[in-house]
Amino acid sequence: MTAQGDDRWGDPRGDFDGEGTESPPSLILDVCTRAVFHAAVVFAVWLLAAGHNRPGGGFVGGLTISAALVLTYASGGSPALRGVLPVRPLTFLGVGMLTAQATAVIPMLLGRNVLESAAVTLHAPLFGDVKVATPLFFDIGVLLIVIGLVAKALDTLGAADPTAEHETPTVSGEIVSGGRRR
Amino acid sequence: MLTALLGAHLAAAAGALLLRRHGRRTLLLCALAPAAVLAWLATVLPGVVVRHRTVEETVAWVPSLGLTMGLRLDAFGALMALLVSGVGLLVFLYAHSYFAGGPADAPGKDPVAGLGRFAATLVAFAGAMLGLVVSDNLLALFVFWELTSITSYLLIGHKHASEHARAAALQALLVTSTGALAMLGGFIVLAQLAGTWSMAEVLADPPTGALATGAVLCVLAGVFTKSAQVPFHSWLPGAMAAPTPVSAYLHSATMVKAGVYLAARFAPAFAVATPLWQPVVIGVGVVTMLVGGYRALRQHDLKLILAYSTISQLGFLIALFGTGNETATFAGVAVLVAHALFKATLFLVAGIVDHEAGTRDIRRLSGLHRELRPVAVVGCVAAASMAGLPPLAGFVGKEAAFSSLVDAGDPGAVAMLAGLVAGSALTVAYSFRFCWGAFADKPRADLAGEPAPAHPAPLAFWAPAGVLAALSVAFGLVPRLDSPLVEAATAALVPGAHPHPLALWHGFNLPLALSGVTVAGGLALVLARRRVEALQERLPSPPGSLEGYNATLSGLRILAARTAAVAQSGSLPVYLGVILLVAVVAPATAFLMEGPPALSTARFADSPLQVVAVAAALAAGVAAVRSRRRFAAVLALGAVGYAVVALFALHGAPDLAFTQLLIETLGLLVFVLVLKHLPERFHTYRWRMGQVLRIGLSVAVGAFVSVFALTAAAARRVEGVSHEYLARSLPEANGHNVVNVILVDFRGLDTLGEVTVLAVAGLGIAALVGAVRRGAPAGDAPGRPGRPGRGGDGSDESARAGAR
A133 and B665 within 8 Å at the Cβ level: the answer is no
Distance CA B178, CA B678 (A): 49
Per-residue pLDDT, averaged over B230-258, amounts to: 90
The lowest-confidence range among A77-81, B37-41, B148-152, B444-448 is B444-448
Q: Give how far B148 is from chain A: nearest CA, Å.
A: 30
B783, pLDDT greater than 60 = no
B735 and A52 within 8 Å at the Cβ level: the answer is yes
Distance CA B533, CA B297 (A): 8
Neighboring chain B residues of A56 at a CB cutoff of 8 Å: 655, 658, 737, 740
Per-residue pLDDT, averaged over B116-128, amounts to: 92
Q: What is the largest CA-CA distance in chain A?
A: 67
B782 and A171 within 8 Å at the Cβ level: the answer is yes
Cis check: omega of the bond before B391, within 30 degrees of 0: yes
CB B420 within 8 A of CB B405: yes
- Residue B766, chain A, CB below 8 Å: the answer is yes
Which residues are within 8 A (CB) of B342 and not within 5 positions of it... i.e. 6 or more apart?
Answer: B382, B383, B385, B386, B392, B393, B394, B468, B469, B472
Cβ burial B199-228 (10 Å sphere, 16+ → b, else e)? bbebbeebbeeeebbebbebbbbbbbbbbb
What does pLDDT average to over chain B?
A: 85
A157 and B758 within 8 Å at the Cβ level: the answer is no
Per-residue pLDDT, averaged over B248-254, amounts to: 88
Give SS3 for B85: helix
**Helices and strands per DSSP (H, E), number in chain A:** 4, 2
The pLDDT tens digits of the residues spanning A5-16 come to: 333 333 333 333
The pLDDT tens digits of the residues spanning B128-144 come to: 999 999 999 999 899 99
pLDDT of residue B106: 46
Candidates B729, B758, B760, B798, partner chain A, best to mutate (most A CBs within 10 A)? B758
Distance CA B497, CA A24 (A): 92
Neighboring chain A residues of B782 at a CB cutoff of 8 Å: 159-160, 165, 168-169, 171
A3 and B685 within 8 Å at the Cβ level: the answer is yes
Neighboring chain B residues of A22 at a CB cutoff of 8 Å: 676
Distances (CA, A) of B90 to B85, B449, B478: 9, 35, 22
B666 and A2 within 8 Å at the Cβ level: the answer is no
Distance CA B665, CA A44 (A): 15
B772 and A12 within 8 Å at the Cβ level: the answer is yes
Neighboring chain A residues of B568 at a CB cutoff of 8 Å: none
CB B311 within 8 A of CB B279: no
B572 and A6 within 8 Å at the Cβ level: the answer is yes
Per-residue pLDDT, averaged over B338-358, amounts to: 92
CB B689 within 8 A of CB B568: no
Q: Give how far A93 is from chain B: nearest CA, Å.
A: 6
Distance CA B153, CA A99 (A): 35
CB B216 within 8 A of CB B186: yes
pLDDT of residue A162: 46
In chain A, the residue whose alpha carbon lies closest to the alpha carbon of B680 is: A17
pLDDT of residue B65: 66
The pLDDT tens digits of the residues spanning B479-497 come to: 888 888 999 999 999 888 7
CB B369 within 8 A of CB B477: no
Give SS3 for A54: coil
Distance CA B9, CA B15 (A): 10
Length of chain A: 182
The pLDDT tens digits of the residues spanning B714-761 come to: 777 777 777 888 888 777 777 788 888 888 888 888 888 998 998 898
Distance CA A91, CA B774 (A): 23
Distance CA A135, CA A139 (A): 6
Among the partner residues B669, B751, B765, nearest to A142 by beta-carbon distance: B751
Single-letter residue type at B503:
A
The pLDDT tens digits of the residues spanning B688-726 come to: 777 788 889 999 999 988 888 888 777 777 777 778 888
Distances (CA, A) of B353 to B91, B304, B446, B462: 16, 14, 18, 10
A7 and B573 within 8 Å at the Cβ level: the answer is yes
CB B733 within 8 A of CB A135: yes
Give me the helices (H) in B205-357, please: 210-226, 235-238, 244-248, 257-270, 277-296, 302-323, 326-357
CB B135 within 8 A of CB B71: yes
The pLDDT tens digits of the residues spanning B48-106 come to: 888 888 888 888 777 776 677 888 999 999 999 999 999 999 999 999 888 886 544 44
Distance CA B535, CA B529 (A): 10
Give just the sign of the alpha carbon dihedral B730, B732, B734, B737: negative
Per-residue pLDDT, averaged over B608-612, amounts to: 92
Distance CA B398, CA B328 (A): 11
| Residue percentage of chain B with pLDDT more than 70 | 93
Q: Which residue, among B309, B218, B318, has the nearest Cα to B267 in the 3D structure?
A: B318
- Tell me which H or E stretch contains B58: strand B55-62
Interface of B with A in 713-732 (CB under 8 A): 732
Distances (CA, A) of B728 to A152, B493, B593, B742: 38, 57, 38, 10
B799, pLDDT greater than 70 = no
The lowest-confidence range among B67-76, B598-607, B657-666 is B598-607
The pLDDT tens digits of the residues spanning B350-399 come to: 999 988 888 888 888 888 888 888 999 999 999 999 999 888 999 999 99
Q: Which residue, among A93, A98, A99, has the nearest Cα to A149 in the 3D structure?
A: A93
Nearest-5° Cα angle at B525, B524 to B530? 115
Which residue did the predictor score with more confidence, B122 or A1?
A: B122
The pLDDT tens digits of the residues spanning B513-551 come to: 899 999 999 999 888 888 888 888 887 776 677 888 888
CB B254 within 8 A of CB B388: no
Q: Which residue, among B474, B282, B319, has the nearest Cα to B394 in the 3D structure?
A: B474
Q: Give how far B60 is from chain A: nearest CA, Å.
A: 15
Q: Which residues pair with B67 in a beta bridge?
A: B62
- Residue B804, chain A, CB below 8 Å: the answer is no
- Tell me which H or E stretch contains A131: strand A128-133
Distance CA B424, CA B313 (A): 9
CB B458 within 8 A of CB B48: no
Neighboring chain A residues of B690 at a CB cutoff of 8 Å: 3
The lowest-confidence range among B161-165, B188-192, B683-687 is B683-687
Which residue did the predictor score with more confidence, A167 or B436?
A: B436
Q: Which residues pair with B793 in a beta bridge?
A: none
A173 and B766 within 8 Å at the Cβ level: the answer is yes
pLDDT of residue B77: 93
Neighboring chain A residues of B773 at a CB cutoff of 8 Å: 159-160, 173
- Tell me which H or E stretch contains B510: helix B510-527
In chain A, the residue whose alpha carbon lies closest to the alpha carbon of B763 is: A90
CB B678 within 8 A of CB B629: no
CB B112 within 8 A of CB B121: no
Q: Burial level of A109, CB count in 10 A (0-12/13-18/19+)?
A: exposed
Q: Taking the domains of chain A in order of start, what are their residue ranges?
A: 25-165
CB B359 within 8 A of CB B452: yes
A54 and B685 within 8 Å at the Cβ level: the answer is no
Neighboring chain B residues of A93 at a CB cutoff of 8 Å: 759, 762-763
B666 and A66 within 8 Å at the Cβ level: the answer is yes
Distance CA B80, CA B586 (A): 56
Give SS3 for B61: strand
Interface of B with A in 566-585 (CB under 8 A): 570-573
Distance CA B487, CA B495 (A): 12
Q: Give how far A119 is from chain B: nearest CA, Å.
A: 7
- Residue B765, chain A, CB below 8 Å: the answer is yes
A117 and B766 within 8 Å at the Cβ level: the answer is no
Distances (CA, A) of B726 to B97, B418, B718: 71, 79, 17
Distances (CA, A) of B168 to A74, B153, B157, B752: 53, 9, 7, 40
Bridge pairing between strands A119-124 and B55-62: unpaired
Which residues are within 8 A (CB) of B505 and not within 5 positions of it... i.e. 6 or more apart?
Answer: none
Among the partner residues B683, B734, B744, nearest to A3 by beta-carbon distance: B683
pLDDT of residue B781: 38
Total CB pairs under 8 A between chain A and B: 199
A16 and B677 within 8 Å at the Cβ level: the answer is yes
Single-letter residue type at B489:
A
In B402-548, the DSSP E strands lie at none
Question: In which region does residue B209 sit, left (phi positive, over 0), alpha (psi from -120 to 50) or beta (all else)?
Answer: left
Give SS3 for B160: coil
pLDDT of residue B66: 64
Q: Which residue, among B290, B308, B291, has the nearest Cα to B299 in the 3D structure?
A: B308
The lowest-confidence range among A35-49, B13-27, B179-193 is B13-27
Cβ burial B82-104 (10 Å sphere, 16+ → b, else e)? bbbbbbbbbbbbbbbbbbeeebb
pTM over 0.80: no
Neighboring chain A residues of B751 at a CB cutoff of 8 Å: 138, 142
pLDDT of residue B648: 92
Q: Give how far A126 is from chain B: nearest CA, Å.
A: 22
pLDDT of residue B502: 82
- Tell me which H or E stretch contains B134: helix B111-134
Candidates B658, B676, B755, partner chain A, best to mutate (most A CBs within 10 A)? B755
Length of chain B: 804
Among the partner residues A8, A71, A118, nearest to B669 by beta-carbon distance: A71
The pLDDT tens digits of the residues spanning B259-310 come to: 999 999 999 999 888 888 989 999 999 999 999 999 898 888 999 999 999 9
Query: Would you give the DSSP letter of residue A4?
Result: G
Q: Give how far B695 is from chain A: nearest CA, Å.
A: 16
Distance CA B138, CA B180 (A): 12
Distance CA B648, CA B498 (A): 82
Residues in chain A predicted with pLDDT less than 50, given as ranges, are 1-22, 162-182
